[in-house]
Amino acid sequence: MCNKKIFVTRSSMPTYEEYIEAIKPLWDSRWLTNMGKYHQELEGKLKEYLDVQELSLMVNGHMALEMVIQAMDFPEGGEVITTPFTFISTTHAIVRNGLKPVFCDVKPEDGTIDERKIEGLITEHTVAIVPVHVYGNVCNVEEIQRIADRYGLKVIYDAAHAFGVKYKGKGIGSYGDASIFSFHATKVFHTIEGGAVAFSDPELYEKLFNLKNFGIRGEELVVSVGANGKMNEFSAIMGLCNLRHVEQAIAQRKVVCEEYERQLGGVPGIRRFEKKPETERNYGYFPIVVGNEYPLKRDELYEKLKEQGIYTRKYFYPLTSDQDCFNNRYREMGLECARELAKSVLVLPVYGELEIEKLREIVKSILSF
Ligand SMILES: *Cc1c(COP(=O)(O)O)cnc(C)c1O
């Protein structure tokens, strides 16, 4: 029995002293937001760390996705092929842009969009593909790009889970036309709230800048109908502090995930996702798939663990396509694998400071049922 509650994640933080020292200059400058010094510094450093050509910081990951979709100027009512096995933000960003999500099934082995099923969903109205590197599992970026090229579609990745992930030696944000990252407090790297768009077309920088700053380009000049998506200086400084420690945080997560892997390896009915070769991972999540050979159903396991103070998450259940706000409104085709996964997946607690002792308690509980 755990004597203290264990949550699925725990936000990483610099020491109190490090952050306080870092924000001190703001009391002199009084420059608290509007693309200040620290915003610029973080943008530059993240561009380098994420190994991407261009980067625009945003107030959060959702606005990053909403605004980059808007920046692409798709015709109203255009169709966007996407995955329902994701956080609701992905689908909302499409719908809030006046576009129609078309839900594609996912692959059971890693939860990413099933690239073999994308072409069957393409119509004359299709404008883009919005796949998700779910849990940091890398989509089949090569095949998705081939399809996009063949049909003249844009590819925008939701890389909210994939901070620092590399594939074939390249930053994950350098694939597709654009990728968005989330720097929410619960993610591998965070700025309390925050996010970014990574891309390669330099013209997009200007467009995103206008979108996140009301289209203001001079004291008396507004060039486009933008909104407000700016990251403030306190957040940027939190990011600069966290970035100093992120390598270590990922290394700690790796230890946790590898220990889970070892301990749960041979357990009947507990499946783990496949790891794509040539991928540098970030160990953001440890999802398991609860199969028939396991004595409990996923929901029962979730409840039993909760009774013991172990808080796991049913990421991602229900599918976004099944949510009340979208139910039956949009086109989907055979979401059997996605439904099956949503019913059987469970994300176990992972954070750098999760003690191996606690992890053993979690595993012991899973084995005890
Ligand atoms: C966290 C998350 C987002 C949204 O990011 P915020 O920074 O919370 O706005 C979008 N997509 C996915 C898959 C996420 O996990």
Chain segment 85-130, per-residue pLDDT in tens = 999 999 999 999 999 999 999 999 999 999 999 999 999 999 999 9
Of 278, 284, 53, the C-alpha closest to 166 is 278
Residue keyed to tokens 């078309």 = 102
Distance 218 CA to ligand 1 centre (A): 32
b/e map of 200-239 (b: 16 or more CB within 10 Å)?
A: eeeebeebbbbbbbbbeeeeeeeeeebbebbbbbbbbbbb
- Indicate the pLDDT class of residue 1, thresholds 50, 70 and 90: very low
Radius of gyration of the chain (CA): 21
- Indicate the pLDDT class of residue 328, thresholds 50, 70 and 90: confident
Of all protein residues, whose CA lies closest to atom 13 belonging to ligand 1? 87
- pLDDT (tens digit, 9 = 90+) per residue, 227-258? 999 999 999 999 999 999 999 999 999 999 99
Sheet of strand 279-280, all strands in order from the earlier edge strand to the far edge: 170-171, 166-167, 279-280
Interatomic CA distance for residues 88 and 61, integer angstroms: 12
Asked whether 195 lines ligand 1 (CB < 6 A), one says: yes
Interatomic CA distance for residues 78 and 99, integer angstroms: 5
State mean pLDDT over 50-68: 98
Q: Are 333 and 105 in contact (CB under 8 A)?
A: yes
pLDDT of residue 152: 98
Distance 181 CA to ligand 1 centre (A): 8
Cα 212 to chain centroid, rounded: 20
Distance 89 CA to ligand 1 centre (A): 6
Of 263, 293, 276, 227, the C-alpha closest to 354 is 263
State mean pLDDT over 43-69: 98
Distance 151 CA to ligand 1 centre (A): 28
Residue type, 165: V
Angstrom distances, CA of residue 150 to CA of 113, 153, 154, 288:
18, 8, 11, 35
Asked whether 184 lines ligand 1 (CB < 6 A), one says: yes
Asked whether 345 lines ligand 1 (CB < 6 A), one says: no
Pocket test for ligand 1, best of 65, 182, 197 (most atoms within 8 A of CB): 182
Interatomic CA distance for residues 256 and 276, integer angstroms: 19
Asked whether 158 lines ligand 1 (CB < 6 A), one says: yes
Residue keyed to tokens 């053993």 = 360
State mean pLDDT over 57-78: 97
Is residue 59 scored above 70 in pLDDT? yes
Which tokens in the block code for residue 207?
Answer: 């467009």
pLDDT of residue 332: 75
| Coil, helix or strand at residue 14 | coil
Q: Which residues are CB-contacts of 118 (< 8 A; sequence separation ≥ 6)?
A: 81, 104, 129, 144, 147
Query: How much of the chain, in percent, has pLDDT values that exceed 70?
Result: 99
Q: Which residues pair with 182 in a beta bridge?
A: 195
Mean predicted lDDT score pLDDT of the chain: 96
pLDDT of residue 330: 87
- Indicate the pLDDT class of residue 2, thresholds 50, 70 and 90: very low
- pLDDT (tens digit, 9 = 90+) per residue, 157-206? 999 999 999 999 999 999 999 999 999 999 999 999 999 999 999 999 99
Query: How much of the chain, in percent, has pLDDT values that exceed 90?
Result: 95
pLDDT of residue 167: 98
Strands (E) across 146-254 are located at 154-158, 166-167, 170-171, 178-182, 195-199, 216-218, 221-222
- Indicate the pLDDT class of residue 3, thresholds 50, 70 and 90: low
